[in-house]
Structure 1
Amino acid sequence: MKQIILSFLMVFGAMTSTAADYNITAYGAVSDTSRLSTDAVQRAIDECSQAGGGRVLVPTGSYKIGTIVLKSNVNLHLEHGATLYGSTRLEDYRPMKSDYVSLRTQTETIQLIYADDVAGVVIDGHGTIDGRGRSFKKLSWNDEGITRPHLLRIIRGRDITVRDITLRNSGCWMQHYLACDRVRIDGIRVFNRNNYNNDALDLDGCHDVVVTGMLADSDDDAITLKSTSPRLCENITITGCVVSSHCNAIKLGTETNGGFRNINISGICVKPSEDQSSQFFGLPRGISAISLEIVDGGVLENVNVSGITAEGTESPIFVRLANRARGYYEGQKIDRVGRIDGVHISNVFVNNAGPSGCSITGLPGHPVENVTLSDITICHSGGQKQTPIPVDEKEKEYPEATMWGVLPARGFFVRHARGIRFDGIEIRTAAPDERPEYVVEDADVTPAGM
């Protein structure tokens, strides 16, 4: 047996030792942010990939780059004290266009680090990638990825790992994983509070994803699942993260062409940012802790959110089925209302929330179905008078937890819903509040009488 183990270790050692390091300085990269090292880094990546894979090493130092394109079996490794800085000149970013059809691949886009149709890509180490995104001004309504670069974008990736790295200051979304399979994100730190559309994490139509131990501070949404093509986000586990956001801490939506299935999010701490020096979207206290939305014809089923603690947020829980019906390519017509069926939200504690209240709402003839909320405590400022029930269904409007204004319930407003169950809910208000805890309209709610 000892001989077998020894032989295995020798073979394994021989296999692992064949993966070479490709130090970017050997290709001409210089630790000098006044000089561009894009070509040197790209040559290291290309040679590494052509040799069958290995580690592209970024040693301690400060290196300026424009767009680099990762290839299969390349491990981009940043040593402690190493920083890749994004160029502040648009001319240094290479426009890229995938042939994967989705909402945000209709035109060429720019990003600092890009990959498409790759396998076995790793980004790791204890260094930093800083996009210097404040340098790119918002020029139009929909300019993210056009004149404001993403920091990291991976399309159709398989077996992708991002761990231990620090990501800072993107021009828009920090990291966008589109139509990827088997993604592992572990122990990363994300700071993205310097421009518009500064999401921390966007998983878009991805399958089999595990996210653990992320520390994220973003102006826009923090943990964000999207479906900008017919491909669902499916089999996703996110746990043990600490996030800050002026918008939504945990959000499924807004784009929901395919939808979401088998999503498990747990052990998330939501807290105010330590840096409130700038705000581009949202509210100082944050908009919501949990937003679950279907508005573009997709489905949301078997979604479990548990073990959430939140400080702040204006309207902590928001579940919304509507009919914005926006397609993922020009001219597409969405001719169906989507479905929400099977949501479990449990063990949630929210402190110092705003007085708006929470909501679970569908549309006439298209109810939200089978939502269970248990062991939830929400403490908010209260002090509100009786508030009328919203008349407008707002079926085409952008879904946001604050879209109804101050709700008629100090706890939950439920409309157009079936199979809604509340168990162990406590609503505390700092000041007396005239509103009832629950307002129910066209809804089947347990316990009865709510």
Structure 2
Amino acid sequence: MKRQFLLFIFITCAVVTNVQSANQSINGTYNILNYGADTLNVCTQAINNAIESAYRNGGGKVIIPAGRFRSGTIFLKDNIELHLSGGAILEASDDYSDFPLIPPTTYRSLKDAGGWSALIYAEKANHISITGKGTIDGKGKGRKGRVQGVAGDCNGRPRNILLISCKNVSVSGVTMLNSTIWNQHYLDCEDVTVTDIRVFNHANGNNDGIDIDGCRRFILSDSVIDSDDDGIVLKSTGIAPCEDIVITDCIVSSFANAIKCGTESTGGFRNILISDCIVKPSRSEGERVIKSTPTGITAISLEVVDGGVMEGVTVNNILIEGTECPLYIRLANRGRKHISSAPIPPIGVMRNIQISNITAYGTGNFCSSITGIPERKIENIYLNNIRFVNKGGLAKGNFLTKELVEGVRHDMAKSMYPDKYWASFKDIIEDEKGYPQPTVWRNLPSYGLFIRNVETLELSNGTFTSEKPEPRNPIIAVNVDKLYLHQINAGQNSSSEVLLHKVPDIDADPSLKVRIEK
């Protein structure tokens, strides 16, 4: 009987201990102050110790309280919520030695060439979150790369947040500032929700707002992003596609491309919904870091240039103010490999893209464009209820020439020749190996829409007008198999003649002025 009683007590204690452990994994909080953090010293070890303690107890909330705390790399683990309380500032250490270079992970990417580095990092973690009303400050102004021989966004500068191959991720409420490079990078992640964040990233080159890279089932919503480089970016820098992605109810500003799907496209893009967003000029003051246009290059960019398939993309209800080019859709054949041992990617595919309810005003004169290449046309593009109002005001006959632009970088704003335009569509080089951005072409010979190398395009209820007189055609279509133009208004201050070349099947309203050029 005594043995049975002792056994009962042992089992009861074990059950209570397990219940307490389970409760701690759900409700347990771990304040970094209790692990030695303070506002005077670098707190990397204290924060990681708090995370490790929570992880050993099955998970919990690691709290960064109000105050300014400096840190190197923080490693998130399963079932950890990193919570930045109101008034908390998590600030990157000034010493690169606090940010160990992490070698390439199991999932390989074009961007791992110099080794990964981040303020907040996780690989293959499950059920992790970053929450609260605090601030993450990367202190990236003027900081240089640290990997010799590796340029651009692979040179070892730390990201504010880098999550690789993680599942069930939530980021909400926080403000993110001043990264040394990309602000937040989600690579090969699944089931991610990012909501109600604020990003202001104008400290260094390659200062993207958020990069969603080869992820599946990702929702970004209700956020404000203002970045020096691209704002909201979908990429596929490895073999995984960006798939089942929702971007909604965001306000985006960028000196480069506000909402962009590309440039890297190895794994492709499928089932992408971008809706109910505002694109407007940046509120950044002072000199721009990147050499781009002061009001932004594009509002919406969809690109496939390094192989991969883009299909099932819907863009709806977008209000655009002041960017140079409202819409840029590009299929080309740069053919860049995502790692050196990979085969050269074949020409990609773009098809089944729906663009609707887009209003753009006060935009520049680059002209929106939808262009494939002769070897591979874009398939099935549908545009409905489009209203583009550009600035206009170009002087008739003030033409760009190949001599003016030869050898000039695509991102040099001072060399864009904003007062000049190309005389003819025949001057617009294919440039299928070049960088996919409308700065390469500058002011096209049309002001509303330039279409080239497309199988089928339907445009209904489209208005293209200019604030000042325009010498250019509203629409130019070249090498398009089937073109449908209905309810098109070209405005009173501009040429209203649509120019076609190699368009064998045209279905247009009788009232639309159409000229066919041999």
TM-score (norm 2): 0.82
1:4 maps to which residue?
none
Aligned-pair distance for 1:135? 4.2
In structure 2, the residue corresponding to 1:133 is in which secondary structure?
coil
User: Does the aligned pair in 2 maintain the 1:110–1:146 contact within 8 Å?
Assistant: no
1:7 maps to which residue?
none
Higher Cα Rg: structure 1 or 2?
2
Q: For 2:428 and 2:465, locate their aligned partners in 1 and report how far apart those are by CA, in whole Å.
A: 27
In structure 1, the residue corresponding to 2:45 is in which secondary structure?
helix
In structure 1, the residue corresponding to 2:38 is in which secondary structure?
coil
2:461 maps to which residue?
424
Q: For 2:49 and 2:25, locate their aligned partners in 1 and report how far apart those are by CA, in whole Å.
A: 22
Q: For 1:446 and 1:229, locate their aligned partners in 2 and report how far apart those are by CA, in whole Å.
A: 37
Q: For 1:143 and 1:316, locate their aligned partners in 2 and report how far apart those are by CA, in whole Å.
A: 26
Select 1:445's aligned residue among 447, 467, 483. Answer: 483
Pair 1:58-2:67 in alignment: no
User: Does the aligned pair in 2 maintain the 1:110–1:145 contact within 8 Å?
Assistant: no
Select 1:414's aligned residue among 451, 457, 479. Answer: 451
Select 1:336's aligned residue among 346, 352, 356. Answer: 346
In structure 2, the residue corresponding to 1:91 is in which secondary structure?
helix
Select 1:75's aligned residue among 64, 72, 81. Answer: 81
Aligned-pair distance for 1:192? 0.4
Number of equivalent positions:
436
2:140 maps to which residue?
133
Aligned residue type for 1:314: E
Taking a change above 3 Å as real, the CA distance of residues 20 and 420 of structure 1, as seen in their structure-2 partners, is same
Taking a change above 3 Å as real, the CA distance of residues 439 and 229 of structure 1, as seen in their structure-2 partners, is same
Select 1:89's aligned residue among 88, 95, 106. Answer: 95
1:238 maps to which residue?
247
In structure 2, the residue corresponding to 1:134 is in which secondary structure?
coil
Aligned residue type for 2:58: G
User: Does the aligned pair in 2 maintain the 1:325–1:333 contact within 8 Å?
Assistant: no
Q: For 2:276 and 2:24, locate their aligned partners in 1 and report how far apart those are by CA, in whole Å.
A: 35
Gaps of 5+ in 2: 1-18, 398-422, 486-505, 509-513
User: Does the aligned pair in 1 maintain the 2:25–2:60 contact within 8 Å?
Assistant: no
User: Does the aligned pair in 1 maintain the 2:24–2:60 contact within 8 Å?
Assistant: no
Residues 333-342 or 369-378, more deviating: 333-342
Give aligned-pair identity as a percent: 40
2:424 maps to which residue?
388
Taking a change above 3 Å as real, the CA distance of residues 338 and 117 of structure 1, as seen in their structure-2 partners, is same
Aligned residue type for 2:52: D
Aligned-pair distance for 1:105? 2.4
Q: For 1:145 and 1:442, locate their aligned partners in 2 and report how far apart those are by CA, in whole Å.
A: 38
Residues 175-184 or 132-141, more deviating: 132-141
Select 1:360's aligned residue among 360, 364, 370. Answer: 370
CA displacement 1:168-192 (0-9 Å, x = unmatched) = 1100000000000000001001110
Aligned-pair distance for 1:17? 7.9
User: Does the aligned pair in 2 maintain the 1:88–1:136 contact within 8 Å?
Assistant: no
In structure 2, the residue corresponding to 1:437 is in which secondary structure?
strand
Q: For 1:142 and 1:226, locate their aligned partners in 2 and report how far apart those are by CA, in whole Å.
A: 19
Aligned-pair distance for 1:357? 0.7
User: Does the aligned pair in 2 maintain the 1:320–1:361 contact within 8 Å?
Assistant: yes
Q: For 1:106 and 1:180, locate their aligned partners in 2 and report how far apart those are by CA, in whole Å.
A: 19
Q: For 1:368 and 1:191, locate their aligned partners in 2 and report how far apart those are by CA, in whole Å.
A: 35
Aligned pairs for 1:169-318 within 5 A = 169-281=178-290, 282-318=292-328
1:401 maps to which residue?
438
User: Does the aligned pair in 2 maintain the 1:250–1:289 contact within 8 Å?
Assistant: yes
Aligned residue type for 1:309: L
Taking a change above 3 Å as real, the CA distance of residues 216 and 276 of structure 1, as seen in their structure-2 partners, is same
Residues 371-380 or 152-161, more deviating: 371-380
Aligned-pair distance for 1:274? 1.6
Pair 1:31-2:39 in alignment: yes
Gaps of 5+ in 1: 1-10
Taking a change above 3 Å as real, the CA distance of residues 428 and 214 of structure 1, as seen in their structure-2 partners, is same
Aligned residues: CA RMSD: 1.6
